[in-house]
Amino acid sequence: KAGVTQTPRYLIKTRGQQVTLSCSPISGHRSVSWYQQTPGQGLQFLFEYFSETQRNKGNFPGRFSGRQFSNSRSEMNVSTLELGDSALYLCASSLRQGTDTQYFGPGTRLTVL
């Protein structure tokens, strides 16, 4: 069974632009969570989607948004990019909401210049 896939793997943007990252969960998994990883703040939870609905949101500004499609694929969008948004963005999937194990994708490395 294929693992979690994320596209693109690397992305370079300039301040003020917006970006969309994509995540395809493991086949059959319906819950997708997003995390931001930076050297200073470590790993921080962004949001979680299940059945096309955002179920939980971390402490990030409204510039960070996401959605989930009927096939469980998820996208996250960051508008008006800032230098501090440079990070590794990790997506994780699990079978159902409330199941205990999340499996991570390889991440998307976003660099904001």
Partner 1 sequence: AQTVTQSQPEMSVQEAETVTLSCTYDTSESDYYLFWYKQPPSRQMILVIRQEAYKQQNATENRFSVNFQKAAKSFSLKISDSQLGDAAMYFCAYRSARLQGAQKLVFGQGTRLTINP
Residues that bind partner 1 (CB under 8 A): 31, 33, 35, 42-43, 45, 48, 50, 55-56, 58, 88, 90, 92, 94, 97-98, 100-107, 109
The strand pair at 108-112 and 10-13 is best described as parallel
Question: Looking at beta carbons only, is 78 or 90 nearer to partner 1?
Answer: 90
Quote the CA–CA distance of 11 and 87 in Å, as a whole number: 10
Closest distance between partner 1 and the C-beta of residue 103, in Å? 7
- With tokens 């660099």, the residue in question is 111
Smallest distance, Å, CB 107 to partner 1? 5
- Whole-angstrom distance, CA of residue 105 vs CA of residue 82: 24
CB closer to partner 1 out of 15 and 52: 52
Nearer to partner 1, 62 or 100 (CB): 100
Phi, psi torsion values for 83, nearest 5 degrees: -55, -35
CA angle 65-33-83, nearest 5°?
A: 50
CB of 34 to partner 1, least distance (A): 10
